[in-house]
């Protein structure tokens, strides 16, 4: 696919779903998008604003991932990383801005994203945006729940 050959609307979709080109990182583009999301969490200290950023990223991910899949002509194309970005943001919802939670959350999300713990395994097989984003939402929820449980016991 040559970028010059697609419409402006599709170029916007391409830019957003690759998280401004992060999806073209040669090694582990999904992990690179998670690093960007981690820095967004570190920079956005206001909880309300972070929730809004997370919701907007989820809406955009669902709205555009299926379309991006068609643009790339490949099911769940690895260049589409907005799903990883949004899932990583879910991991950090209502979590303190402490290094231990940031690091543990990062590794928990990546682990759950790779393992595809049910129902993520079933969601990933769905077509379009539901399949692209669904498994990352589940991974983010699992990681978030574990972080909250860890906080209860950490004191």
* HSE of 2, CA atoms in CB hemisphere, 13 A: 2
pLDDT in tens, 12-34: 999 999 999 999 999 999 999 99
For the segment 49-105, what is each residue's pLDDT rounded down to a tens digit?
999 999 999 999 999 999 999 998 888 799 999 999 999 999 999 999 999 999 999
Range of the structural domain that residue 78 is part of: 3-154
pLDDT of residue 76: 79
Structural domain count, the chain: 1
Alpha helices in 47-119 (DSSP H): 47-72, 82-91, 99-115
> Helix, strand, or coil here: 125?
coil
Give pTM, 2 decimals: 0.93
């Amino acid at each position: 696919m040559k970028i010059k050959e697609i419409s402006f609307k599709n170029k916007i979709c391409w830019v957003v779903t690759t998280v401004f080109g992060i999806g073209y990182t040669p090694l582990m583009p999904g992990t690179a998008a998670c690093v960007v999301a981690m820095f967004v969490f570190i920079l956005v200290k206001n909880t309300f604003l972070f929730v809004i950023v997370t919701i907007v990223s989820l809406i955009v991910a669902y709205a555009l991932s299926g379309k991006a899949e068609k643009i790339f002509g490949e099911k769940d194309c690895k260049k589409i990383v907005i799903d990883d970005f949004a899932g990583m943001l879910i991991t950090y919802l209502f979590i303190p801005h402490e290094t231990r939670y940031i690091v543990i959350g990062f590794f928990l999300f990546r682990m759950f994203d790779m393992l595809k713990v049910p129902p993520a395994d079933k969601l990933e097989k769905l077509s379009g945006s539901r399949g692209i984003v669904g498994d990352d939402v589940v991974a983010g929820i699992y990681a978030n729940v574990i972080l909250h449980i860890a906080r209860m016991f950490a004191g």
